[in-house]
Amino acid sequence: MSMDVQDKKMDSINRKEGVQFRRRFIQAGMFSLFRISAVINGTALLVVVYFLVARGWHAINWTFLSQPPVDSMTQGGILPCIVGTLCLSIGAIAVALPIGVASAVYLNEYAQPGRIVRLIRLGINNLAGVPSVVFGLFGLAFFVVYLEMGVSILAGSLTLGALTLPVIIGSTEEALRAVPDTYREASLGLGATKWQTIRCVVLPAALPGILTGIILGVSRAAGETAPIMFTAAVFYTPSLPTSIFDEIMALPYHIYVLATAGTDIEATRPLQYGTALVLITLVLGLNLVAIIYRSRLRKKR
Amino acid sequence: MSKSNKTGKDRQNREQVIRFLFFGVALASITTLFLIALFLFVEGIPVFKEVSVSDFVFGKHWYPTDDPPDFGIFPLIIASIAVTVVSSAISIPLGVLTALYLAEGTSARIREWVKPVVELLASLPSVVIGFFGMVIVAPVLQEILDIPTGLNLFNASLMLAFMSIPTICSLSEDAIFSVPGELKEASLALGATRWETIWRVIFPSAISGICTAVILGMSRAMGETMVVLMVAGGATMIPTSLFDPVRPMPASIAAEMAEAPFQSEHYYALFAIAIILFLFTLAFNVIAEQFSHRYRQVGAATL
C-alpha cells in the first residue's frame, strides 16, 4: 500500500521533471534559433563587405581616385563620380536640413496633438515609404521637365532632398525630445519667448542629435541610385561640374552602368568592385561615425 | 507703461508669425507627397486614352515598343507580388527572431554590438546589394542548382530580404522593448520560463508593433528598385517556378525610362506603372499606420 503511494509520488515527480525538462529544452531550442538568426544577419553583412573588399582593393590606388575614366570607361578612375556624389549629397542636405529641422520643431515644440498633426505625420510616414524609383519619376516630371531645370545637380539634389526629408525629421525629433523640459521651463521662466527659447536653448541642446541626422541623411543620399537616374546622373561626362545646372556622374549610377551596360562588362569587373568599395566605404563609414557618436550621446544622458 | 505694453504686443505678434512660418514649413512633407501623386497622375493618365484601365492592369503582354504596342502590366504586378512574398518568407522570421534576440535573448553588452550591425545592414546602398547578387550570388546559384540563369525570382527575393530585415528587426525590437517590464516580471514570477514569457506574454503584447514592422518591411521590398533591376532577370512573364526570371514594376520603370521617347505612350505607361506602385506602397503604409494607431500597445495592467 505504502509502496504504491511511494510509486505514485515518484511517478508524478518523474513526470514533473519530464515536463520541466521539456520546457527547458524548448527554451534552449528557441533561444538558439534567436542566436542563429542574429548570426545570419551579421554574416550577411560580413560576406558582402568581405567580397567587395577582397576583390575591390586591388583596383584602388591614387590614379583610380584622382583620374576621370578613359577609353570608353574601361580604364582610368572615378574622380567625377566621387565629386558628383559629394555634390548631390551636400545638395540634398542643403534642401532637406532647413525644411526637416523646421518641421520637427513645429511638430515637437509648437503643435498641439490633433487632426492636423496626425495628417502631417501621415504625410511624413508615407513620404518615407514612397519607392525610390517613384521619386525619380517625380523628379523627372516636376524638376527636370516642368520647372525646366534639365538633368542637373539642382534637380537631383531637390529629388534626393525630398527623399532624405523623413530621415532628418525623424532624427531631429528624437534630438528635440531628448532635451529636458526643465531647460524650456527655465528659459520661459526668465521671460524669453517661445521662439527665443527654441533658438537659444532647445536647438543648441539638440544640435549633436541633429548632426547625427545630417550624417545619416548624407549617407542615405549618397547611396541612392534610382532617384538620380533620370534627374542628375549621366553615363559619362568628360568634365567636372562647374555649376549646379551641370549633369554629373555619380558613384552608385556608375556601378550600375559598368555592371549592366558597360563597354566590356567582364573586363571592367575590377573597376566595378573598386567603385562599389569606395561607395560602401563612404556610406558605411558615415553610418559608423553616426552610430558611435549617437551611442556616446545616449550614454552621456 | 504703455510703451512696454506695446512691445509686449509686438513680441506676441512676432511669435504668432514665427509659429505660422514653422507650420507652413511643416506642411512641406505632405505637399511633396501631394505633388508626387499629382505629377504621377498628370503624366500617367494619358496612357488610358489608348488602353483601358482593366486591360492595362490585367493585360498579360507587355511589349511597349512593338507596333502596335501591348501595355499589359499583369506579369509585372505578379512579379512584384511574388518577390515581395518570397522575400517576406525569409525576412519576417529572420527579422522578428533577431529582434526577439536583441530585446530579450541576450545581454546588454552583446546587444550593443549586434544592433549597429543591423543598422549597418540597413545602410548598405541598394545598388551594392544588387551588384553583389549579380556577380557573386547569381553564378553560385546557377552552378549549384544547375539552372539556366542565376538572375531570377529567388535571387532577387534573397537580396530583397536582406534589405527589409533591418526595417523589420529594428521596428519590432522597439515594439518588444516597450512592453512594460511588469508584464514580464509577473509572468516569470508565476513560474513561466523565459521562452514561455516571450511567447505567451511579450509577443502578444507587442504584436501590433510587430505587424507594423512587417508591413513596412514588405512595402520596402516591393518598392526597392536597384536590386530587382539588376538581379531579377528582367523577363516579362508570369513566373511558374521560384527560379524563373521576372520583371517587377520598379525594374520595368527604371530600365525603360531612359529609352522611352519623351511623352510617348510608353513614357505615359511607365508613369502609370508608377501610379500602381505608389498606390500599393501607400496602401501598405496606411495599413501599417492603422495597425499602430488602432491597436495601440496596451500599458501595464494595473488595477
The Cα of B120 is separated from the nearest Cα of chain A by a number of Å equal to 6
Whether B275 contacts B44, CB under 8 Å: yes
Write the pLDDT tens digit of every residue in A27-64. Answer: 888 888 888 988 888 898 899 899 989 988 888 888 88
Q: With CA atoms as reference, report the closest residue to B156 among B140, B125, B133.
A: B133
What is the reported pLDDT for A265? 78
| Residues facing residue B233 across a β-bridge | B246
Q: B-chain residues within 8 Å CB-CB of A122?
A: 30, 286, 289
What mean pLDDT is reported for chain A?
Answer: 88
At A139 the pLDDT is: 94
Q: Which of residues 238-297 of A touch B (CB under 8 A)?
A: 252-253, 255-256, 259-260, 269, 272, 276, 279-280, 283-284, 287-288, 291, 295
Q: B125, A283: Cβ pair inside 8 Å?
A: yes
Q: Which residue has the cell 509585372?
A: B76
**CB A134, CB A163: distance < 8 Å:** no
Residue-wise pLDDT tens digits, A75-128: 778 888 999 999 999 999 999 999 999 999 999 999 888 888 888 988 998 999
Q: Do A34 and B165 touch (CB under 8 A)?
A: no
Q: Against a cut of 0.90, is the pTM above it?
A: no
- In this predicted structure, which of A295-299, B154-158, B163-167 has the lowest mean pLDDT? A295-299
Contact B274 A133 (CB under 8 A): yes
Under CATH, which number does the domain B53-302 receive? Answer: 1.10.3720.10
CA gap B76, B64 in Å, rounded? 13
ipTM of the complex: 0.89
pLDDT computed for residue B105 by the predictor: 77
How far apart are the C-alpha atoms of A231 and A152, rounded to whole Å? 6
pLDDT at residue A110, as a whole number: 92
Provide the pLDDT confidence category of residue B238 given band limits of 50, 70 and 90: confident
How many residues are there in chain B? 303
Instruction: Give the integer Cα–Cα distance in Å for B192 and B186.
Output: 9
Do residue B19 and residue A194 have CB atoms under 8 angstroms apart?
Answer: yes
B2 confidence band (pLDDT: 50, 70, 90): low
Per-residue pLDDT for B92 more than 90? Answer: yes
pLDDT digits (tens, 9 = 90+) for A145-165: 999 998 999 999 999 999 999
pLDDT tops 70 at residue A235: yes
pLDDT at residue B302, as a whole number = 40
User: Cell triple for residue B139?
Assistant: 553564378
Q: Return phi, psi of residue B71, to 5°.
A: -115, 70
pLDDT band for position B300 (cuts 50, 70, 90): very low
Q: Which has the higher per-residue pLDDT, B40 or B104?
A: B40
End-to-end CA distance of chain A: 69
Q: Is the pLDDT of residue B303 over 50?
A: no
Distance between CA atoms of B193 and A20, rounded to whole angstroms? 10
Q: Read off the pLDDT of each residue in B6-32 and give the average, rounded to a whole number.
A: 88
Q: Give the pLDDT band (50/70/90) at residue B295.
A: low
Could you tell me where the beta strands, DSSP code E, fall in B35-169? 62-63, 70-71
Mutation site for B-interface testing, chosen from A130, A187, A218, A236 by largest number of B Cβ within 10 Å: A130
Domain boundaries, chain B: 3-49, 53-302
Mean pLDDT of B260-277: 90
State the Cα–Cα distance between residues B86 and B176, nearest whole angstrom: 25
Contact criterion met (CB < 8 Å) for B257 and A276: no
- pLDDT of res. B1: 46
Nearest Cα to Cα of residue A224 among A141, A161, A175: A161
- A126-130, A264-268, B57-61, B101-105: which has the minimum mean pLDDT? A264-268
CB A42 within 8 A of CB B114: yes
pLDDT surpassing 60 at residue B88: yes
Average per-residue pLDDT in chain B? 87
Phi (first) and psi of residue B99, to 5 degrees:
-65, -45
User: If pLDDT is split at 50, 70 and 90, which confidence band does B263 have?
Assistant: confident
